[in-house]
Chain A
């Protein structure tokens, strides 16, 4: 099936640890995104990538890092510098912006990160 796969679904992080969330898509999309969702709030953009080997900071990039070595993969690392990492993390993808202004965006099922 075509879609976006996020793993793991649930992850626990100890203080001072870095953790990496995986996001893989087989939709042949150029653009990929990471969003964070806190309870009762909308989504906030962490990082996005419009093409392989290139990515841009979103609105809340501090304490996070990403890489885009392959078109289908966009992993997110939550570093120890992120002081409040407990949240629901959503990965998304779309065709490259500028190709069409009407393209929709597709989301994965999300990953829950909890600090213990």
Chain B
């Protein structure tokens, strides 16, 4: 059974710092991995999607990496801003279960001005 874990559960950093969020999964047979952002009381917004054949994806100040063999992904945020404060969730799509996603519990990020 696929399990997804995110560490840390919460993170507080001063503005301007570079930071890394971690995601680990137990079954390396995945289609893809996706990182989402969730603001309080809101839905999820997709940030980056990494296909199983890719190693990383970049969008602006965000960079996501994928190491299937070790069951790990990281989300790197450069030069953090208070507007980056949100919960970040990673999710993996299983190989044999259609479009279903398995989510981690999320990392709650707070960037202090």
Contacts and interface: CB of A to CB of B under 8 A. Distances in A.
A19 interface: no
A89 B86 CA distance: 18
Secondary structure dominating the interface of B = strand
Secondary structure dominating the interface of A = strand
A105 B101 contact: yes
The bracket for how many chain A residues form the interface is 20 to 34
Given A48-B100, A104-B46, A42 B105 contact: yes
Given A43-B103, A105-B34, A110-B43, 7 more contacts: A4-B43, A42-B4, A42-B91, A58-B100, A104-B49, A108-B43, A110-B41
Interface of A: 4, 6, 31, 33, 35, 40-45, 48, 50, 56, 58, 88, 90, 92, 94, 96-98, 101-102, 104-110, 112
B28 interface: no
